[in-house]
Structure 1
Amino acid sequence: MEPGGQVEISTPPRESLSDLLKVVAADVDHLQRLLEPAGLRLGSRGADPFRPPHRLLRVPRYAAMEQAFAPFGPEGITMMCSTAGLQVCLDFGLLEDLPKRWAAVHALGPVLNALFANSPGVAGRRTDWASARMRSLYATDPVRTRPAAVCADPAAAWARRVLDAPVIVVRRPGPDWTPPRPLTFADWVAGGLDRPPTPDDLDYHMSLQFPPVRPRGYVEVRYLDTPSDGGWVPPVVLMAALFSTAEVVDATLAATETAAGRWLAAARYGLHDPVLARAARDVVELGCAALTNTDVSAEQADAIAEELHRTLDEKTPGGRS
């Protein structure tokens, strides 16, 4: 359970996309059965439009996070307690593929966030945003929630970012895990605390970085709003198709070139932004053509393509009805 009562499930990876879809569907069904006796059901948006954020989990990690985010305003506690995302994890491919795949997954971010945005408000605020969830994430703590660098050596850039990021949690006995003084992880390595950091401390520090795309030995895509029941299938399959071959990745970069970096425009306007709308149409066409690179059945591929086009038309002003 997440701080505000959100329930997270994490399905083990699968080599087969069709197998993954079956396993995730079974996990969701099982979760729903667990919730039903308590009169609970899964939500259908990426942000809670009704309740103000309220932390249910009284554990040291989240207490320290809340304290660290508070100086930036209310978005940190909102992100922690009132938002939920669909996370899609992709492999890096071969080492020589890393820079292009890293660039493509970031360039796709604003486009897919706009295409699948479904959180037009959180706790009665931001009601005119396409993705109030992404807005809250973006404003939580700029050092740890803004997009990572897209460059020729993303691994080195990420390592530097992690070292330069402030430490907001130091695990120790007792309920208070707030750091005794402001410091970065590099400061800690240099002797800033009464003990040196361990590899486990580094792993924990990295778990407290929340960019829209996070490297974890694989690519963890975090920029999609949680969809309604069953709505998770089209974005998952679309992303798998868009990263199915090096040629499709190249085409994805070309299709999203003009939209790269438009994170706030995507969160604010969705596909009402004409640049994002054009890129989304190109991305959907490219992804649908690449569905044959996956192992989903022809019948399921047709259904997913139809749903993607329907979503595109519904979200784009003047789209087909």
Structure 2
Amino acid sequence: MGQTDTVPRLDLRRVFAAPPGRAEAVGLEVEVGLVCRNNLRNASYPQALALLDGLVRGHGAIPVLDGAFTVGVAMPGGGTFTLETGGALEYSSATFATVAGAVADVRDNLLAAAGIGAVHGIALTTGGIVPFAAADGIAWNPKPRVRVMREYFRDLGPDGGHADEVMGLILSAQTTLDYVSEDDLMDKLRLLVRAAPVVAALFVNSPVAAGADTGALSRRMQYWRRFDPRRCGVLGAALDAGAGVDELVEWAARLPMIYRLVGGSHVAAPRIPFRQAVEEGFGDGTYPTEADWELHLSQVWPHVRVRRTLETRLSDAPPWPWFGAGTAVWAGLAYDPRARAAAGALLCDLTAPALDRAADDVAVRGLRASIGPYRARDLARELLRLARQGLTARVAAGLERPEALPLLEPLEEICDTMDTFADRALRAWRRGPSEFLRAFSVPA
């Protein structure tokens, strides 16, 4: 039975509409592992709560609850600390007009959290993965959706084979960017999708997993290949000729929700495409709402995710203090029209299959990988030049602060020397796990 006139037709396009008068702003999310200094185990949920309580008592934070469980705190400056599914801690900045502003906010808040963590014997470790623990050492968050998600991925068989590692061990530093119209959305999205593996080659930083050298430069990127590939990887729908919001809607609407919110708690959703739920309901007399659609869009993880913003997701997180380097690259490329046009022209012949193959190669070989007919290093060098050009133009126009420009320097050095964050991580690991923790943690 389809929707009747008493059930409002859900407008799936509306979430992608840019608010009138929107200005291009920047957001930054950084995940850090919580590791006990005395035994290198992941901090337990009660230990993580002690850190959050320190932010409440000492910094005026407000607890954030998921049902009966504390899952984060809202900071006075507008940012939020959130406990991720496997016990990592994510800081999401408020929205800032400049890269420099977002980076300063994240730096100040992570340093505050690291100081409190030190009191409780907890280190905030940075990089693309927590390298000490295997999947059986994950400190799962007790919120209900964690159980629902783990059951969903177990039922996928091999396609969900690395779900625990993705949910519980990997770390990232994600940038959110704005769009001001549908044309602007698609123009930026095409660039970000094509540039994602190139930029990821600059940031490979997870060579050690479960306490061992994996032989890859980004084990994190490899884990994503077995985390329901239908909802991950290259967003090919954005690259089709003439693609627009309708294609993005149809890509997401073909997938089922994993969980939905019912009675204040997350429960498993029916295993039917979201589009079918719109037409026929969830089977319990209810139909999806716009809140369900937005929740569903948070349950897809392509290299670039589109909701009310554009979110870059493919790259590993760099070590402290370079967590803002990716944001400088993306803003420099996307927010300056000349840089964006030049970068788009550089990458315009890269197809979705070529980008998909490139992600696999980048995970193993980093800047030595092939991306279509090109070397990753050659493309990365040119994108960095354009990003610097774009950021410099924004500084000259008063749209960015000069402090953003040095954020590109470690990436330019990596391009010149081919000495990646992953290479540095391996050297630290070989000096001993405790030395790695010292070198790759937020200073307390």
- TM-score scaled by structure 1? 0.89
Question: Would you say 1:204 and 2:295 are equivalent positions?
Answer: yes
CA contact (8 A) 1:87 1:221 kept: yes
CA contact (8 A) 1:11 1:27 kept: no
User: Equivalent residues in 2 for 1:1-321 (5 A)?
Assistant: 1-53=83-135, 54-70=138-154, 71=157, 72-124=159-211, 127-148=214-235, 149-150=237-238, 151=240, 152-172=242-262, 177-179=267-269, 181-189=270-278, 190-194=280-284, 195-257=286-348, 261=355, 262-274=358-370, 275-295=375-395, 298=402, 301=405, 303-315=406-418
CA distance in 2, matches of 1:174, 1:18: 38
- Measured after TM superposition, the shift of residue 299 of structure 1 is 6.7
Unaligned runs of 5+ residues in structure 2 are 1-82, 421-444
CA shift in 2, pair 1:101/1:283, >3 Å:
same
CA distance in 1, matches of 2:129, 2:244: 30
CA distance in 2, matches of 1:199, 1:217: 13
Instruction: Give the number of the structure whose alpha-carbon radius of gyration is greater.
Output: 2
Worse-superposed segment, 207-216 or 25-34:
25-34
CA distance in 1, matches of 2:328, 2:185: 21
**Any idea what the Cα deviations from partners look like across 1:148-170, whole Å, max 9, x if unmatched?**
22233342122112211022213
CA distance in 1, matches of 2:408, 2:359: 25
**Any idea what the Cα deviations from partners look like across 1:133-178, whole Å, max 9, x if unmatched?**
1221232001111222223334212211221102221333598822
CA distance in 1, matches of 2:100, 2:160: 42
CA distance in 1, matches of 2:214, 2:350: 24
CA distance in 2, matches of 1:258, 1:168: 35
Larger RCO (CA under 8 A, 6+ residues apart): 1
Larger proportion of helix: 1
Secondary structure in 1 aligned to 2:208?
coil
CA distance in 2, matches of 1:176, 1:240: 35
CA distance in 1, matches of 2:333, 2:167: 30
Secondary structure in 2 aligned to 1:31?
helix
Unaligned runs of 5+ residues in structure 1 are none
Q: What is the letter of the counterpart of residue 306 of structure 1?
A: E
- Aligned residue pairs total 315
Secondary structure in 2 aligned to 1:294?
helix
- Measured after TM superposition, the shift of residue 298 of structure 1 is 4.8
Secondary structure in 2 aligned to 1:89?
strand
CA contact (8 A) 2:201 2:367 kept: yes
Q: What is the letter of the counterpart of residue 296 of structure 2?
A: H
- Measured after TM superposition, the shift of residue 44 of structure 1 is 2.5
CA shift in 2, pair 1:55/1:286, >3 Å:
same
CA shift in 2, pair 1:207/1:16, >3 Å:
same
CA contact (8 A) 1:226 1:232 kept: yes
Larger proportion of strand: 2
CA distance in 1, matches of 2:415, 2:140: 37
CA contact (8 A) 1:271 1:316 kept: no
CA shift in 2, pair 1:31/1:256, >3 Å:
farther
Worse-superposed segment, 135-144 or 48-57:
48-57
CA distance in 1, matches of 2:179, 2:212: 37
CA contact (8 A) 1:117 1:267 kept: yes
Q: What is the letter of the counterpart of residue 12 of structure 1?
A: A
CA contact (8 A) 2:140 2:146 kept: no
Q: What is the letter of the counterpart of residue 260 of structure 2?
A: V
Query: C-alpha root-mean-square deviation of aligned residues, in Å?
Result: 2.3
CA shift in 2, pair 1:107/1:176, >3 Å:
closer
CA contact (8 A) 2:336 2:391 kept: no
- Measured after TM superposition, the shift of residue 213 of structure 1 is 0.9
